[in-house]
Structure 1
């Protein structure tokens, strides 16, 4: 639920660095190759074609909720708890990496502590849709809850690096599953007409978790020790699992019950092991290349090139396996031949790429060009939380009231385009009041697009595909978040370096000055401006501004592509009943 690890960290304005890695990624495929013969796939669920067949909802009454409201609120409480914990664990170590790594004598490899969680969370997240179609939402939610709890406990009792990394990896699998399955389960419980409203509330809890992670981590570590930061999350996950055990009882005929009338061995045989393996490998390669490329791994090095080739090959192989070999595809790639599915996925991809880059480098602009300290920059990010929350809930309320979304998406999606366009022209003279709301327009449009496109995606396919198509959106969003940060970083670094050489050369007081040395120090850290030669400070500051503007222009180009995709999404009926009749 997005919730995804990709957007919330950036929406909440976490402290930036100048070479983004996966640790800064809040998150976690590109469109597969579509066979020509699949372009005639029927356009499921379009308003013009009428309602869906009863096969998609047999056994369900035409009600707005699948369970009585009192029980629904207990289930939703667990889902919100899962959203909160999953987001919390992405940021809870941001203020503790140095403390933890120093305590276990692993300072040079401390990035692995954050990377391991986000990597597994992103790579495994798309698998849970199909797995829950086989084993049922309840079973898979419990597996993820307990995986998260076990991973946290392993971390809490670790005394060296690798047990801690393994624990973070295990909890990442559970964390990614909790968000995906929470989103999917809501689709089983609530009609499409009200679906967006509940998703909006879930997004708020995800945002609260991401925004409070650093603070909670610091407070707990200071008072009880860093291990308790992980240990205290385990009982919360168990409480969520208990609520699922007691109250998640879906009615007969619900897709959320999984495959019925089969024993465990038969269900296991339905798992697409080959496709799942290829998907995890391709996502792991893409995310690793995007996260580490340019910093830990040179772009022109053999490791980076190998990662890119490997990722591309496994991704193409995954698409081929899903289209032609697998009887039970992990992700129904053929659905990308449907116009709405394809453009919903691409809009998520492009919008996430654009917003992540812009929301990351606006704080960089604040701290370098405007010379704001971290606290001042962080305060300017606070309105984003309220704007994102309001936009998510407003989107849900609009869909609930009107049953429509297309025109709403076109209007709100364009708001982000306008917002990034204005950011491209900011100057050091920007008004203080405007600084606090500079990101409000991009954030508002992005939050509405995420909320609306998910409902549009689900509405465009038969009920039995809703879990798998949700996985499609998470896969596109995950890759988009990481690529957005990586490409923005590469553009920023390239423009910064060129601007530094050019600007410093214009003001250098003597030909004996080693310009390359000053450029290298300025590239390494913006803090160098505090101790740099006085004659070079303004040149360095202007160069950072040029680098930020280059990343902003990239964001504008990409978000325009995203908006074009939004306008190509088709209107589908948001049914008021679960049976979609």
Structure 2
């Protein structure tokens, strides 16, 4: 095994020589593509490109709308299914299922091609949305959300794979910015649109509308991508029949990863932290790492390629992305709650609070993707700068989350927050692609998508648990301080946990206590989020330039 030196660790893994070279990444020798391989992408016609871009954009919108729409329709779902105390799992179930499956995306694209994988994924998305729309009780609804999340897991990694394969390096930054912009449009507009649609169609109608859209977009992408484009990438692992290809999938690793994620997040998201569940998640995590480090025990293609993760650039990029996006998703999930409960906004207007931060996210991606990211090289210093600015914006937002602050200042802070994290997404992705060989980009893009999805799961589940615990304590103390017996208020507290919109229908002392409790919860949750930004900055400093 070659021992890396300091110089070799900081040298780009994509060697700029005119011929192909061999690069060692953590015990695995892989062939590195020459710089010339990144100058031109595969060619498709203009019509195919337009259809492909439109279908991908709509799919991204559908996926990310499912992230944010629960902030404005969860009250209606909680009332219909009597699930006030489990409201945080409406989003968490979707995100956990998707992020647990995402690492398989690169493997499945290798085995079956992106066009086949995305078509099947869209059919799975449609099935999940249909089950959710028809669900008579909470368990069935969560099952539908999980299936929906599994289908949506393909969208981000396949989008990156298409960009890597079909674009040249000078335009790659712009197209990555466009993908990230579509994501932020979905997050921003999803809450607004569903908040406006819910009184008309009901929450079940919102899920039902996604069924034909998912199927149509999947067929459109399948037809728009010529089968010859990815023929050189498919069947290279194990050519042959379907059973032979499926035998390469690490099903045991998938099961252990999902179990670890669910147990850990469940233990932190419950009204009282369940340490026994967290301990069980650590046991399954150790079993997962043991299996993944010994592929012969399960499969020749482990779900997490540990040799690639041993590369400092890949590992620290993934960890810094996880840390920063946990803070980012807490902002996206709980600023609408702040608007609903503390500022007394309507559901549709509460969704508007996401426009500045998501608009900034889009600008950060598009402007920097068009004007700055025009080469396959290092963006180490740029990553550090935007991480520091992101941390400062989090500190400001946490300090001004009050009832008295002028909303113009809040919108400005949120816009800066979005711009910096948007810049961060495009810089870190371009940097890690520079630091890894082209043959591993399918897997690296899936790893980044997994950590990005896990951050949303952590931000939703853990943030939901913290929010619920602080809110419960604040409400109980508020009623006790005003001389009300808790026995008569427990049902109201239970309903307030899952229905932010309920605050607007209260009057008198009940409304006063509810508003104060929601304000304390939002401030306590959003205030410490700058620690995540600070930790992500520290991790970024370890990324090789």
Indicate yes or no: 2:294 matched with 1:321.
Answer: no
Pick aligned residue for 1:74 from 45, 51, 58 = 51
Q: Which moved more, 1:438-447 or 1:484-493?
A: 484-493
Equivalent residue for 1:247?
224
Pick aligned residue for 1:469 from 433, 444, 447 = 444
- TM-score for both structures, normalised by structure 1: 0.75
Aligned counterparts of 2:476 and 2:128: Cα–Cα separation in 1: 48
Equivalent residue for 1:86?
63
Indicate yes or no: 2:261 matched with 1:288.
Answer: no
Indicate yes or no: 2:417 matched with 1:437.
Answer: no
Aligned counterparts of 1:370 and 1:97: Cα–Cα separation in 2: 18
Equivalent residue for 2:180?
203
Asked whether the 8 Å contact 1:82–1:182 carries over to 2, the reply is no
Distance 1:420 1:334, change over 3 A: same
Matches within 5 A, 1:417-456: 417-426=391-400, 429-456=404-431
Distance 1:77 1:489, change over 3 A: closer
Asked whether the 8 Å contact 1:420–1:442 carries over to 2, the reply is yes
Please report how far the alpha carbon of residue 348 of structure 1 lies from its aligned counterpart in structure 2 after TM superposition: 0.7
Equivalent residue for 1:269?
247
Equivalent residue for 2:453?
478
Pick aligned residue for 1:337 from 296, 301, 310 = 310
Aligned counterparts of 1:311 and 1:333: Cα–Cα separation in 2: 20
Asked whether the 8 Å contact 1:221–1:229 carries over to 2, the reply is yes
Aligned counterparts of 2:520 and 2:139: Cα–Cα separation in 1: 41
- TM-score for both structures, normalised by structure 2: 0.79
Q: Which moved more, 1:485-494 or 1:73-82?
A: 485-494
Distance 1:440 1:515, change over 3 A: farther
Please report how far the alpha carbon of residue 144 of structure 1 lies from its aligned counterpart in structure 2 after TM superposition: 0.7
CA deviations 1:380-413 (Å, max 9, x no partner) are: 3322221111112123224433555222222222
Distance 1:496 1:268, change over 3 A: closer
Long gaps (5+) in structure 2: 23-30
Asked whether the 8 Å contact 1:123–1:284 carries over to 2, the reply is no
Q: Which moved more, 1:524-533 or 1:165-174?
A: 524-533
Equivalent residue for 1:21?
none
Long gaps (5+) in structure 1: 1-35, 572-581
Distance 1:323 1:281, change over 3 A: same
Equivalent residue for 2:26?
none
Distance 1:466 1:399, change over 3 A: farther
Indicate yes or no: 2:211 matched with 1:234.
Answer: yes
Please report how far the alpha carbon of residue 208 of structure 1 lies from its aligned counterpart in structure 2 after TM superposition: 3.0
Aligned counterparts of 2:527 and 2:114: Cα–Cα separation in 1: 42
Equivalent residue for 2:387?
413
CA deviations 1:116-138 (Å, max 9, x no partner) are: 53442232222222222222222
Secondary structure of the equivalent of 2:103?
A: helix
Equivalent residue for 1:183?
160
Aligned counterparts of 1:46 and 1:100: Cα–Cα separation in 2: 50
Please report how far the alpha carbon of residue 419 of structure 1 lies from its aligned counterpart in structure 2 after TM superposition: 0.9
Aligned counterparts of 1:363 and 1:94: Cα–Cα separation in 2: 6
Aligned counterparts of 2:489 and 2:75: Cα–Cα separation in 1: 27
Equivalent residue for 2:434?
459
- Equivalent pairs counted in the alignment come to 518
Please report how far the alpha carbon of residue 203 of structure 1 lies from its aligned counterpart in structure 2 after TM superposition: 2.3
Aligned counterparts of 1:384 and 1:63: Cα–Cα separation in 2: 34
Please report how far the alpha carbon of residue 101 of structure 1 lies from its aligned counterpart in structure 2 after TM superposition: 7.5
Asked whether the 8 Å contact 2:391–2:530 carries over to 1, the reply is yes
CA deviations 1:87-125 (Å, max 9, x no partner) are: 23445566556666877xx43488576555344223222
Secondary structure of the equivalent of 1:400?
A: coil
Distance 1:518 1:378, change over 3 A: farther
Distance 1:365 1:144, change over 3 A: closer
Aligned counterparts of 1:541 and 1:116: Cα–Cα separation in 2: 28
Please report how far the alpha carbon of residue 332 of structure 1 lies from its aligned counterpart in structure 2 after TM superposition: 0.9
Asked whether the 8 Å contact 1:45–1:459 carries over to 2, the reply is no
Equivalent residue for 1:566?
540
Pick aligned residue for 2:325 from 323, 342, 352 = 352
Matches within 5 A, 1:363-378: 363-365=336-338, 377-378=350-351
Distance 1:360 1:232, change over 3 A: closer
Asked whether the 8 Å contact 1:135–1:259 carries over to 2, the reply is no
Distance 1:392 1:370, change over 3 A: same
CA deviations 1:345-397 (Å, max 9, x no partner) are: 11111101222334445455555665666566544332222111111212322
Asked whether the 8 Å contact 1:188–1:256 carries over to 2, the reply is no
CA deviations 1:485-516 (Å, max 9, x no partner) are: 455555556666777899999xx69xxx4587
Indicate yes or no: 2:499 matched with 1:551.
Answer: no
CA deviations 1:281-337 (Å, max 9, x no partner) are: 2223233334x422xxx21xxxx3343122222222222222223421212123232
Secondary structure of the equivalent of 2:56?
A: helix
Equivalent residue for 1:396?
369
Aligned counterparts of 2:396 and 2:121: Cα–Cα separation in 1: 42
Pick aligned residue for 1:65 from 22, 41, 51 = 41
Asked whether the 8 Å contact 2:59–2:155 carries over to 1, the reply is yes
Matches within 5 A, 1:165-180: 165-180=142-157
Secondary structure of the equivalent of 1:558?
A: helix
Over the residues paired in the alignment, what is the CA RMSD in angstroms?
A: 4.2
Equivalent residue for 2:113?
136
Aligned counterparts of 1:407 and 1:559: Cα–Cα separation in 2: 16
Distance 1:515 1:78, change over 3 A: same
Asked whether the 8 Å contact 1:350–1:480 carries over to 2, the reply is yes
Equivalent residue for 2:28?
none
Asked whether the 8 Å contact 2:102–2:447 carries over to 1, the reply is no
